[in-house]
Amino acid sequence: MTCKIHLVSGNDEARIKLKAKELVETLSGGTTDPFALEVITRQETETADETLKRLILSYMSPPFFGEKTMWLDDFPAFKQENATSKSAIATEIRNLVELLSKNAAENINLVISGNDCDKRKALYKCCSKIGEVHLFNKPEKKNRNWQVEMNNIVQTQAKEMQISIHPQALDYLVTCLGNDTQRVKPTLETLWCYSNGQNPINLSQVQNVISGNEAADAWIYSNALSKRDLESALSSLNILLSREKDPEALVSRLLMQGSTLFHNFVQSKLIMQVLKLKNSSQLESALKSLDESTIKDYKTKYPIITYHPYRLKLIVEDSKRYSNKETLNAMDLLNTAMQKLFQNSSSKRLILESLTHRIISKSIS
């Protein structure tokens, strides 16, 4: 039996709208017949409680022909839900919860969508009990795993569109998109057209579609550090610095990015040593063979093992381009450069170019 009540919420407006629209199209069979599909949105002249009153009255009215689908679209006042408040909106939310709890219609599909429905409150709990809740939260950049979350979002959308992406291309794409989930679907559509629908989409294709922005060029710089490619690193720096209005902020971001890169190299060297492996191709199977408690412990000590296997393999391979001493020295150089950035008025370009030369040079001192 198809679920009749759906709540779509969270703080990711783009994915909330996308999922709600998808549900409505599925439940209504794609009809535009006003007797079979009713979309209720807050009008400019009405308050949120008046919108809910319209929804409740319509929900209590039986459909003319068999079954109908109703959509409360982009409801703006979930945050005002309160179990004891006498405000008009809190009262109407309680009325809706009571109606759905006691008299859920068998011939009406109801989709309720909007930001910030509280999981601890009655409406969320009611929809979870008698229907289905679809929760979408935006990856927060302050969370160290935001890129992993964004990676999963892109992969999920790509799978729905029957698109496959090479892991390195996916890594580049996520770097360029940041946590802007609104750009995921249109960007994948553009990539699908550019690649003539051929799978998998590779790094070169993604770079051709998404280029000329700071994230893309910053990725190229970081990748050049990984590959120990001085020419590419200096070229990307030149492009970045030539158009940056705030070079200090840019240099800070690149230094942090470089620091993360070499911290990952340290982790990869340690995990290879702990598992007594010599070849990066052995790592995936070695990790899969570990028992649950060991893998949980390793995830805490070496967070990079949660990365996609191909990305992890590349990190391990690139880490071998630097000896243990060079890796630690590179981290020291990055820390020193960060201190110089804030302690004196030296040229930001000079600091970064000098650092890049010293790191990539075969003899770090």
Q: Is there a domain that residue 230 lies in?
A: yes
Q: With bands split at pLDDT 50, 70 and 90, how would you rate the model's confidence at 365?
A: very low
Looking at the chain, the number of H-run helices and the number of E-run strands are: 16, 5
Q: Is residue 345 located within the same domain as residue 246?
A: yes
- Output the pLDDT for position 1: 47
Q: What tokens does 204 get?
A: 């070169």
Identify the three-state secondary structure at position 339. Answer: helix
Q: Is-contact 79 71, C-beta < 8 A?
A: no
- Output the pLDDT for position 87: 95
- Output the pLDDT for position 252: 85
**Chain segment 191-209, per-residue pLDDT in tens:** 998 888 889 999 999 988 8
Average pLDDT of the residues in 101-121: 94
The residue from 106, 136, 166 where one domain ends is: 136
Average pLDDT of the residues in 102-114: 93
**Chain segment 65-99, per-residue pLDDT in tens:** 788 999 999 999 999 999 999 999 999 999 999 99
Residue at token pair 């979309």:
39
Q: Is residue 20 located within the same domain as residue 125?
A: yes
Q: Is residue 10 located within the same domain as residue 127?
A: yes
Q: Is residue 132 located within the same domain as residue 35?
A: yes
Structural domain boundaries, residue 186: 146-211
Average pLDDT of the residues in 353-363: 87
Q: What tokens does 330 get?
A: 């590179």
- What share of the chain in percent tops pLDDT 90? 64
Q: Is residue 150 located within the same domain as residue 260?
A: no
Burial readout 106-134 (b: 16 or more C-beta within 10 A, e: otherwise): eebbbbbbbbebeeebbbbebbeeebebb
Average pLDDT of the residues in 115-128: 96
Q: Is residue 14 located within the same domain as residue 108?
A: yes
Contacts with 192 (C-beta within 8 Å, 6 or more apart), sequence order: 161, 163, 201
Residue 17 has pLDDT above 60, yes or no: yes
Q: Which domain CATH number covers 199?
A: 1.10.8.60
The residue from 85, 101, 136 where one domain ends is: 136
Residue 344 has pLDDT above 70, yes or no: no
Q: Is there a domain that residue 156 lies in?
A: yes
Q: Mean pLDDT for the chain?
A: 90
Which DSSP helix (H) or strand (E) runs through 162?
none
Q: Which domain CATH number covers 45?
A: 3.40.50.300
Q: Is residue 15 located within the same domain as residue 111?
A: yes
Residue 151 has pLDDT above 60, yes or no: yes
Q: Is residue 262 located within the same domain as residue 306?
A: yes
Q: Is residue 79 located within the same domain as residue 157?
A: no
One-letter amino acid at 340 equals K
The residue from 211, 235, 262 where one domain ends is: 211
Average pLDDT of the residues in 223-250: 85
Average pLDDT of the residues in 126-131: 95
Q: With bands split at pLDDT 50, 70 and 90, how would you rate the model's confidence at 266?
A: very high
Our count of domains for the chain comes to 3
Residue at token pair 């009262």:
91
Residue 342 has pLDDT above 80, yes or no: no
Report the 10 Å Cβ neighbour count for 37. 19
- Output the pLDDT for position 65: 78
- Output the pLDDT for position 358: 94
- Output the pLDDT for position 33: 86
Rounded to an integer, what distance in angstroms lies between the CA atom of residue 106 and that of residue 142? 44
Q: Is residue 63 located within the same domain as residue 117?
A: yes
Q: Is-contact 199 164, C-beta < 8 A?
A: yes
Residue 47 has pLDDT above 70, yes or no: yes
- Output the pLDDT for position 321: 94
Q: Which domain CATH number covers 222?
A: 1.20.272.10
- Output the pLDDT for position 212: 59
Rounded to an integer, what distance in angstroms lies between the CA atom of residue 28 and that of residue 346? 64
- Output the pLDDT for position 2: 63
Q: Is residue 205 located within the same domain as residue 223?
A: no
Residue 237 has pLDDT above 80, yes or no: yes
Walk across the sheet containing 37-40 and list its strands: 37-40, 68-72, 108-113, 5-10, 132-136
Burial readout 155-182 (b: 16 or more C-beta within 10 A, e: otherwise): bebbeeeebebbbbbbbbbbbbbebebe
**Chain segment 282-298, per-residue pLDDT in tens:** 999 999 999 999 999 99
Q: Is residue 101 located within the same domain as residue 67?
A: yes
Rounded to an integer, what distance in angstroms lies between the CA atom of residue 7 and that of residue 126? 10
Strands 132-136 and 108-113: unpaired
Contacts with 125 (C-beta within 8 Å, 6 or more apart), sequence order: 119
